[in-house]
Structure 1
Amino acid sequence: MQKIIKQFPVLSQYTYVNTATSGLLYDDLLDWRQEHDLDFLIGGSSMKMKGHLLLSETRNTIGEFFGCKADNVALVPNFSIGLNLLLEGMGSARNVLLLEGDYPSLNWPFESKDCHTFYIKVTEALEENIYDRIRLDNINVLALSLVQWLNGIKVDLEFLGKLKKEFPDLLIIADGTQFLGTETFNFEDSGIDVLGASSYKWLLGGYGNGFMLFADDVPAKFNCSSTGFNAADADMEGREKISFAKQLEPGHLDTFNFGSLNYSLGFLSGIGMAAISDQIRGLSLKAKSEFENLGLLEESVVKRKIHSSIFNIAGDKELYAKLMEQDVVCAQRGNGIRLSFHFYNTEREIDKIIGILKGS
């Protein structure tokens, strides 16, 4: 893992525990990007005309990486655009269950529609509360982030699968931006109907790329109207043959951005998602234990058996400034300081942070 860590120049200067804000650029991806733009520089449109091959490869790579049919993958610039395009076809006769304090780009699009929205607090009993509300309130859409951006609380994925089996008509829409890239995941086995993500965080894909994954029966539940020449694969006769996923791709897609995602998925596969998951899990367990011993975690996080590698610790502006002065790159979120650990972090870095916290 140390050899891989050297791919990230930022890590030689800072203790970077801020992947929940932005993943890092690494040497090999920079090389690929420079080669891509050099090809464009000397090839112009002839290079770009071949772009559909790279985009098709990216779609296939995403499908293989996350266990989803390539035809059910939509390439979108980011999760927010993908979700808004999708919800244009959802209709208004829906009872939607949301989580209080979930990421605004997930909650706001539902709140702007005419659907009926219900809310639950994110507590240690999250799954039990979701189940009760769905059973009692005639909920037909559950929309949530798989990992909460503020405090890192992670929904039990097995629970979602069981929930779908008990309530097969329930539409589960999930944001995987703070989850995908942290462990092995198979979409078709998850029970989730729609899963979207921006790729600039844990997937290390850089900005301007994301995707939406759809279960086979999702097209029958929406009536989307977005369209464009790209959706028809630039076929003048293809307007009436546009697939559901391609409706979310009405315009040109950037080979630089989506090629970056394609490259990074290969990079992560080369490391091995099992190794990445083990590393992140070990860091999460150590960080949670240390922060809990210092009394810095909210009760709902402490009481849960499973957690992500994102933590929001009690701390004010002064503590945040002190961490930054010690070259610990983190973020102020909510009422605390958010620290997030990826596979390129180490236990030694956690020890450094704990030392700073104890000296504050």
Structure 2
Amino acid sequence: MDLTTLRKQFPVLKQGIYLNHAATCPISYATIEQMKLYCQEMEEPFAKHAMRWAKLTEETRQLLAELLGCQTDELAFTPNTSTALSLVANSLNFKPGERVLIPRDEFPSNRYIWENLQSKGVDCTFFDLPSDRSLIEFLSEQNLSKVRLISVSLVSYLTGKKIDLKAFGEFCKKREIISCVDGIQGVGTFPLNLKSQLIDFLAGGGQKWLLGPLGCAYLYIRKELIEKLHVPLVGWTSVKDPRNFEARKLDFADGAARFEPGLPNIVSIAGLNASLNELKQIGWDFIFKRIQSHTSYLLEHLPSLISNQTELGAIVTVKVPEHLNLQSSLDKNQITVTLRGGLIRIAPHFYNYQEELDQLLKLLRR
């Protein structure tokens, strides 16, 4: 695979070294051009392109299903990951006294939506996961009385720690606890098969590791659950036949599509479609191996600075040496990472060169 040629498709790489894919990813020329095309089509009557737009939406759903290891009717498009998680929280008809467990260091989206259930009498319990313990080891020792749902990140946005998804799914299923996963920092960085991993819900977005645009996210719902859920957002496209405006009865669409209440953000879906096709053509196995190689390389060369050396996804978090004026050095060398709270978060993608990592390592070793 010719990385030099592939890198030419991403304009951001002309501006320096980009190692910040856990934040947002700059999109490729192919994605930009496809989004432009769909914007231009909006100059014309909706009916002229409606069927093709619907076909593109379903093609994109299929690409996501292949990546996630699920069926297309288990996926709903949403504007962002926060909306997807909120749909989960408001679809389960929680009862007063039921409990939800969440790690304390979760990204705010995966904390606020559960805290919001406290107004319904739900006990939102935060826990601190010791850095040297696996999630399953820790949960096995906890009081799980009245716990209805556990919500965790597939990969921590803060530390890069990756959970054993299958072990988590099996743990919850055995105890009849609902499993919910914020997958945005993991999807696209290693293989998944949600059906065999027994996960109930997974939310994610396209703007990080999938190299897609803002405004297009998704929610996976295990098929066996869909009919049992309350649909908190309902609109004219939530039903089996949206074009039958004379219908006098609410007849929900089969599958997760019932959670899509209106017309989709077709421009963002077009962008995600382009990026997923591009990544599929490059080859997911190649991408996964490249990303894992970067993680291993950083672990090998920064052992004394790594804040968490347990199993990691694509994110490596490093303690910043106190004597360094690192932000100035990063700016001077045109290196983009996340620097926050005395930590630097490094998140390279498949197209990054090892030499680019070496330039960052050189700054950290001063």
TM-score by length of 1: 0.91
Equivalent in the alignment of 2:45 = 44
Question: Do 2:28 and 2:275's aligned partners in 1 also have CA atoms closer than 8 Å?
Answer: no
Q: What one-letter code is carried by the residue in structure 1 that aligns with 2:316?
A: F
Matches of 2:139 and 2:206, distance apart in 1: 27
Equivalent in the alignment of 2:10 = 8
2:170 to 135, 139, 162: 162
Equivalent in the alignment of 1:235 = 244
Matches of 1:339 and 1:193, distance apart in 2: 30
Deviation at 1:3, TM superposition (A): 1.8
Deviations 1:17-73 (A, max 9, x none): 0000111211221222223233333x3323442322222222222222322111111
Aligned counterparts, 1:188-199, within 5 A: 188-199=195-206
Matches of 2:340 and 2:48, distance apart in 1: 43
Question: Do 1:284 and 1:308's aligned partners in 2 also have CA atoms closer than 8 Å?
Answer: yes
Matches of 1:62 and 1:320, distance apart in 2: 37
Question: Do 1:9 and 1:26's aligned partners in 2 also have CA atoms closer than 8 Å?
Answer: yes
More divergent stretch after superposition (330-339 vs 343-352)? 330-339
Question: Do 2:169 and 2:179's aligned partners in 1 also have CA atoms closer than 8 Å?
Answer: no
Equivalent in the alignment of 2:110 = 106
> Is the counterpart of residue 132 in structure 1 residue 141 in structure 2?
yes
Matches of 2:349 and 2:40, distance apart in 1: 31
SS in 2 for 1:97: strand
Deviation at 1:321, TM superposition (A): 2.7
Equivalent in the alignment of 2:294 = 283
The percentage of counterpart residues that share the same residue type is: 25
Question: Do 1:97 and 1:118's aligned partners in 2 also have CA atoms closer than 8 Å?
Answer: yes
Deviation at 1:149, TM superposition (A): 0.6
Matches of 2:265 and 2:144, distance apart in 1: 45
Deviations 1:249-284 (A, max 9, x none): 112212111111122111111111110010001100
Equivalent in the alignment of 1:72 = 74
Question: Do 2:238 and 2:252's aligned partners in 1 also have CA atoms closer than 8 Å?
Answer: no
TM-score by length of 2: 0.89
Unpaired runs of at least 5, structure 2: none
Matches of 2:104 and 2:328, distance apart in 1: 29
> Is the counterpart of residue 296 in structure 1 residue 305 in structure 2?
yes
Aligned counterparts, 1:87-106, within 5 A: 87-93=89-95, 94-106=98-110
SS in 2 for 1:11: helix
Equivalent in the alignment of 2:315 = 310
* CA pair 224-244 structure 1, distance change in 2 beyond 3 A: farther
SS in 2 for 1:230: coil
Question: Do 1:82 and 1:248's aligned partners in 2 also have CA atoms closer than 8 Å?
Answer: no
Q: What one-letter code is carried by the residue in structure 2 that aligns with 1:297?
A: I
Q: How many residues align?
A: 350
More divergent stretch after superposition (30-39 vs 106-115)? 30-39
Matches of 1:246 and 1:183, distance apart in 2: 26
SS in 1 for 2:305: coil
Matches of 2:361 and 2:185, distance apart in 1: 24
Matches of 1:211 and 1:235, distance apart in 2: 26
Matches of 1:20 and 1:325, distance apart in 2: 22
Unpaired runs of at least 5, structure 1: none
Deviations 1:300-332 (A, max 9, x none): x12x2x211212222268312321221110112
